[in-house]
Copies of this chain bind each other. A is one copy, B any other.
Amino acid sequence: MRRIKFTLAYDGTEFFGWQVQPNLPTVQGTLEAALSEIEAAPVHVTASGRTDAGVHALAQVAAFDLNNPIPLPNLRKAVNKLLPPAIRILKVEDADPEFHPIRHARSKIYEYRIYREEILSPFDHRYVHHHPYPLDVDTMMDLAPLIEGEHDFRAFAASDEKYEAGEPLVRYVYTSELREDDDRLVYRVCGTGFLKHMVRNLVGTLLEIGKGNLHEEGLKKLLRPAPETPFGSAGPTAPPQGLFLVSVQY
């Protein structure tokens, strides 16, 4: 038995997220089906984190155990041949038998793309959030770095998620930056880990700031929540198609 690390890209449009769901196309399910065909036995794949339905990955990391002694380059080719074109294995490596893509991740980078012009290209609509309305972009750019540092992010957690008492909701965000790139806004965030919906809720919150519905003090308050602050009280959750998992650092 050997442990293998995959780096893969996917277009999330046609998948119901990463995690296996019965009778629905998911990235994990599609990948496991391909690997199980090669292994001629069930293969279980773990990723650095679950991405939601419609969310994309430029370089997700996943790991699994395999008995089949197929050389790594051949494995990459064989899996890519079995996968639909919306998922591509970019890199295949031998990993330590103990390698765990979630627990060993030091940090992750996500990017969120917002398109601001009136007419959205038919070639972009799967990959940006279309927001052709006025925004105070300067204030959004000024306040985005307030998210950096160690915070209890319960206000940015998914409101429908069940959290156990005492479950750590503190995360460390290394960088949080919004920049203008031609006709789009790009938000990039790097942190130790992210709660479910956290990046989309951060973007939704920045959009509220851009619309003038939330100000510096309001954002600071969301980042210093009281223990009774409800999960997901920030937001709203920005739509999934603008979100890309850019990379995972180990």
With A90-B119, A119-B90 already in contact, the answer to whether A125 and B85 are too (CB < 8 A) is yes
Looking at the complex, which one of B87, B88, B119, B123 makes contact with A80 (CB distance below 8 Å)? B119
Closest B residue to A85 by CB, please name it. B125
**How many copies of this kind of chain does the complex include?**
2
- Least CB distance, A34 to chain B, in whole angstroms: 14
Interface size class of A (residues with CB under 8 A): 10 to 19
Query: Does A72 sit at the interface, judged by CB under 8 A?
Result: no
Give the chain B neighbours of A119 by CB distance below 8 A.
80, 88-90
Does A86 lie at the interface of the complex (its beta carbon under 8 Å from any beta carbon of B)?
A: yes
Q: Quick check: B122 and A11 within 8 Å, CB to CB?
A: yes
When distances are taken between beta carbons in the complex, the residues of chain B under 8 Å from A11 are 122-123
Q: Which residues of A84-124 are within 8 A (CB) of B?
A: 85-90, 119-123
Which B residue sits closest to A12, measured CB to CB?
Answer: B122
Determine if A10 is an interface residue (Cβ-Cβ < 8 Å). Answer: yes
Q: How far is the CA of A125 from the CA of B122 in the complex (A)?
A: 15
- Interface positions, chain A 61-90, Cβ under 8 Å from B, are 80, 85-90
Residue numbers in B under 8 Å from A120 (CB-CB): 85, 88
Given contacts A11-B123, A86-B125, could you give 5 more A-B pairs where the C-beta distance is less than 8 Å? Answer: A10-B122, A56-B122, A56-B123, A88-B120, A90-B119
